[in-house]
Structure formats: C-alpha cells, structure tokens
Structure 1
Amino acid sequence: MKPSFVFLIDDNGQAVKQLTKEMRKITHVPVQTWNGWDTDWFTSWLLQWGWLRKGFLLFILFITVLLTIACFTPCLIATIRKLAGQVTYQQMMILYKPEGTEAQSP
C-alpha cells in the first residue's frame, strides 16, 4: 500500500487534486450547535419532574451564594477596618505638631 503523503504529479495535476481532496477530508469540522446546559448527569437520580429538577438546581445555587457570602464577609470587614485605621492615622498625623515648633516659625 502506497503512503498517502507521497504524490507524483502527472501532466494533468491529478495528484494535486487528490492531495487537496484528502486535506479537505482531514480538516473538515462539522457544524456544532448549542443545545443548552446538560444537567442530566447531576439530577438523574431525582424524579423526572421538570419543576423538581429546576428547584433543586436553584436550591444548590442559593446555598452556593450563601457560602460565597460567608467566605467573603471576613475579608470585607478586614478591608474596611484597615481602611478606617489608615484614615484615622492620617488625620492624627495632620493634627500632630512636634514640641517646640511654635518658636521656630518665621
């Protein structure tokens, strides 16, 4: 059997046509369509009622949002405290005057 990547070009250019035909076969990608989210793998054990499946997924989403809020709340509180401390420190430094500076002013 002759390898497909070795071609001898004849006078009519048949090998080039064959090569391009094989290249098109290799590079052809069929049209892909989107059919939405496939959640059957996650809810296949539930009863086959549509409202029950959607309700379960909404419940999981709700729990995920609550856990996310619970994780980010300490970070947010620490950031606010740090910002308040920096502002307070800057205001104190503006009001602070070292001793003996009143006599040196021109």
Structure 2
Amino acid sequence: MSEGSFATALAVTIDDNTAMRAFFKKFSRDEAAIKANLYHELPQIISQRPHKIKAAWGLKHQGQTILEYKIVLKPRSFRAAYIQCQQQISVIFISDILIKREFVNALAATHLAD
C-alpha cells in the first residue's frame, strides 16, 4: 500500500462535545481552515510525518491514548487532541493554547479525559 492510499484511507471525524462547540464558537472565523486542516492535513501527517504526533502525556479517552498535534495556520496556530482506532480518527479537543504542558492540563480538566 502506498503512502498516498494510506492517507486517504484514514477517516477523520470531529466529536460533537461541549468543548468542541465552545471552541468553534470562539474561533468561528477560523472554522473552515481548521476543519480543512483536520480532514486533509492530519491524515497526511500521521502517514508521512508521524514524528509530529505526540501522546498527551498519559491521558486517555474511552480507554485509548489521546494523541495531539499542532494545527499551523497563518497567522495563528492551535493544538488538537484526538484518538485513533484502526483507520478512524476522532478529534475530541482543540485549543489555542500552544504550550504543550498547558494544553494537556486544559484537556485533563475537561470531561474528555478518563
């Protein structure tokens, strides 16, 4: 299987939770660009640049390790947390907090972390 076909085989969904709704309400102007990044860039990053993906320091969601990466848009950036089961990626949290320790603390304070 080639890298390109692997990237397209990954299916990204955005979880419908209070944290995600609040985030997209706050950053409504960036919503389209963020979603484009999630649906198109994230699968490519997972398959072609996995060193960009990091664990969210021991946090789990529904028993699965939460992973995170930086969404780079111009002029701002964000961090997104997700879980992956086989070819299914579920984005559960996004924040404008870029410092990893603070991002993980904000994620841990939600109902999303087990």
TM-score, normalised to structure 1, is: 0.21
More helix per residue: 1
More strand per residue: 2
Q: Compare CA radii of gyration and give the structure with the larger one.
A: 1
TM-score, normalised to structure 2, is: 0.20
The higher relative CO (CA closer than 8 Å, separation ≥ 6) is in: 2
